[in-house]
A and B are shown apart, each in its own frame.
Chain A
Amino acid sequence: GQSLEQPSEVTAVEGAIVQINCTYQTSGFYGLSWYQQHDGGAPTFLSYNGLDGLEETGRFSSFLSRSDSYGYLLLQELQMKDSASYFCAVRERSSASKIIFGSGTRLSIRP
């Protein structure tokens, strides 16, 4: 089976940089995705890493290392609106290719 581990909470200061880690145990997957969910809102897709290395999208970057079974989401120049929960997810390497989510990290940003 698959399992993904994330810290439950992270706190950071506005303008700073924060890294949210995701470690996983999986028998096979296509890649690692990240989703953002604001309180009361629906999860929205942020990024995808199909290959090892760093993917950058504006202030957000995501990293994957398959050899270390590890990935992270890096948020730079933090803004108050980045306060949200962040979920890592994998797409299984199977015929149905279902997506499994981690338990989520709640990011709180202080002024």
Chain B
Amino acid sequence: DVKVTQSSRYLVKRTGEKVFLECVQDMDHENMFWYRQDPGLGLRLIYFSYDVKMKEKGDIPEGYSVSREKKERFSLILESASTNQTSMYLCASRASVHYNEQFFGPGTRLTVL
């Protein structure tokens, strides 16, 4: 079974802090994604990576950056956290661009005070 893990289930940070969210997958998938989920808005794509060191902006990249130095790990960085970044963050992986199924991690509930 594919396993996608995220570094924290719950995280509380202060405005202006630099925040790192880590995601690891164990199935040698090429593609990895970061979404945020807010009530009534569904899953909105922040960034994705279709290969190591490759990244592409999603629909809401402002205020975020990403890093993918190794195939199994995809990090989401909030350079200076703001209260409007309080949300559920979901990481997902996919075998390659030719596949439809994504596998999601359990999510990180981030609260920015």
- Tell me the A residues contacting B by CB distance below 8 Å: 8, 30-31, 33, 35, 41-45, 48, 50, 87, 91, 95-104
Contact = CB atoms under 8 A, between A and B. Distances in A.
Interface stretch (B12-20, B35-43, B60-68, B70-78): B35-43
| Closest 7 A/B residue pairs (Cβ) | A103-B42, A42-B104, A97-B97, A101-B43, A45-B101, A104-B42, A48-B100
B99 to A, nearest CB: 8
Nearest to A95: B97
Interface of B: 4, 33, 35, 40-45, 48, 50, 56, 58-59, 90, 92, 94, 97-98, 100-107
A4 B22 CA distance: 29
B11 to A, nearest CB: 16
Nearest to A102: B42
Contacts of B41: 103
B109 to A, nearest CB: 10
A87 B42 contact: yes
Contact of B107 (A42, A44, A96, A101): A42
Given A42-B90, A43-B90, A99-B33, A8 B40 contact: yes
Nearest to B4: A42
B48 A98 contact: yes
Given A42-B90, A87-B42, A98 B58 contact: yes
